[in-house]
């Protein structure tokens, strides 16, 4: 399976229709679409089929669990196994309870920052004054951070939102100099120091391969 081109609009607004014909379905956040497709292609995981929900659901996390449930109910009759490529992502344990109810397997992590870096490594930093970006969020900074917070209209709000942060940590999934520079610019826009950590795909890769 070769990765398919993903437009910004598809990732932000529409998610991703099914890709692949395998008997195991991966229901993923649209923010992970590129990464899951890359892992499927790199590892020859032809038994997997991917479908993604809109990444914009992260702006309203109370909608994530119902959206995943609707996807499970829509597709479960066609697949032997269902994997849910989400962390808890602000659902307060509801997504995990849903997966247990339907026999779907989910990544055990609070959010994608944790499973990209590895849960133990991420927790060990103990960072409470850091703001995080992934490859996806670096690309989609305006759509997911700047505009939703109203900073495009009211830049003076920056201190209200980010005054207690000290640095922006870019958790990089790929070696991409241009994307690193984009993330660095994002840090400058927020008035934060910049740190880059290369994580690769972390626990997501182990989850998909297993």
| Mean pLDDT, residues 142-162 taken together | 95
Q: Per-residue DSSP letters for 4-56?
A: PP--HHIIIII-EEEE---SEEEEEEGGGHHHHHHHHHHHT-TTEEEEEE-GG
pLDDT of residue 16: 56
- CA dist 207 → 40, 122, 138, 145, 151 (Å): 12, 17, 23, 28, 36
Cα–chain center distance at 145: 14
* pLDDT tier, 19 (very low <50, low <70, confident <90, very high otherwise): low
Q: CB neighbours of 178 closer than 8 A, spacing ≥ 6?
A: none
* pLDDT tier, 119 (very low <50, low <70, confident <90, very high otherwise): confident
pLDDT of residue 14: 43
Per CATH, which fold does 8-106 belong to? Answer: Rossmann fold (3.40.50)
Q: What is the pTM of this model?
A: 0.87
- CA dist 142 → 121, 150, 173 (Å): 28, 10, 19
| Spans of all domains in the chain | 8-106, 115-198
pLDDT of residue 177: 98
Spatial contact of 117 and 202, defined as CB atoms under 8 Å apart: yes
> Residue 195: phi, psi to the nearest 5?
-140, 135
| Ranges assigned E (strand) in 46-166 | 48-53, 81-85, 105-106, 130-133
Spatial contact of 207 and 35, defined as CB atoms under 8 Å apart: no
The SS3 of residue 198 is strand
């Amino acid at each position: 399976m070769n990765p398919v081109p993903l437009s910004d609009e598809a990732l932000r607004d529409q998610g991703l229709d099914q890709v692949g014909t395998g008997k195991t379905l991966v229901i993923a956040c649209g923010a992970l679409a590129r990464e899951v497709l890359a892992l499927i292609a790199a590892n020859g995981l032809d038994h997997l089929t991917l479908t993604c929900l809109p990444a914009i659901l992260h702006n309203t996390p109370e909608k994530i669990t119902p959206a995943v449930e609707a996807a499970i109910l829509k597709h479960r009759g066609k697949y032997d196994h269902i994997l849910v490529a989400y962390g808890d992502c602000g659902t307060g344990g509801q997504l995990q309870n849903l997966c247990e109810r339907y026999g779907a397997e989910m990544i055990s992590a609070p959010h994608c920052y944790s499973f990209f870096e590895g849960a133990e490594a991420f927790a060990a930093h103990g960072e409470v004054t850091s703001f995080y970006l992934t490859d996806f969020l670096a690309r989609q900074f305006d759509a997911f951070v700047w505009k939703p917070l109203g900073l495009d209209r009211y830049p003076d709000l920056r201190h209200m939102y980010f005054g207690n942060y000290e640095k922006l940590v870019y958790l990089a999934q790929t070696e991409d100099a241009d994307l690193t520079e984009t993330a660095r610019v994002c840090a400058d826009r927020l008035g934060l120091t910049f740190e880059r950590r290369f994580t690769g795909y972390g626990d997501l890769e182990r989850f998909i391969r297993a």
